[in-house]
A and B are shown apart, each in its own frame.
Chain A
Amino acid sequence: DAGVIQSPRHEVTEMGQEVTLRCKPISGHDYLFWYRQTMMRGLELLIYFNNNVPIDDSGMPEDRFSAKMPNASFSTLKIQPSEPRDSAVYFCASRYNHEQFFGPGTRLTVL
């Protein structure tokens, strides 16, 4: 198995632009998580899905952030409009038993 796949690995954009991050979870995993990593706050859970249904989005910072999971093999995290304070590494993870398997992350820089 290729593991959790995220794209792009790096994204540089200008303030105000729309950004879409993509994730393909491990086949057979029924939970998918989106995290954001910053120096100040560490790994923050933004939202998670179970069987493609959003369960808890209380970590989503504001309405500029949205996430979808149209099917079991794909999820997106969208930021519109992006702001410099959104610069961070965004991780997607899928879960089997008690263990979450993380993708390599997308490093987002908003200028």
Chain B
Amino acid sequence: QGQLVQSGAEVKKPGASVKVSCKASGYTFTHYPMHWVRQAPGQRLQWMGWINGGNGNTKYSQKFQGRVTITRDTSASTAYMELSSLRSEDTAVYYCARGEPTVTNDAFDLWGQGTMVTVSS
């Protein structure tokens, strides 16, 4: 079925960058896209972008374009999400979530446990 394990909580200062990792196991990493979704305290889920596990192609939400970079290391079955120029409004739990291959309107059937990122001076 699979499992996604994310890196631990982070505390960053405004203007800094954060990089969160998501290690996949129990399935073939390169066969599936990986999405990143965040949730600010008490707020709804917000899609940030995704990466094709096979060819590394990416697409980002316009809201985060220019600040977010999603990469992957196929040898480690790990995806990464880096967010730069952090501000207090970026304080949130960041999730990785597995999508479905070859479809654009995919459901996210496997989620990481979440990584809390706190931005504070």
- Genuine A/B complex: no
Question: Using a CB–CB distance below 8 Å, which chain A residues touch chain B?
Answer: none
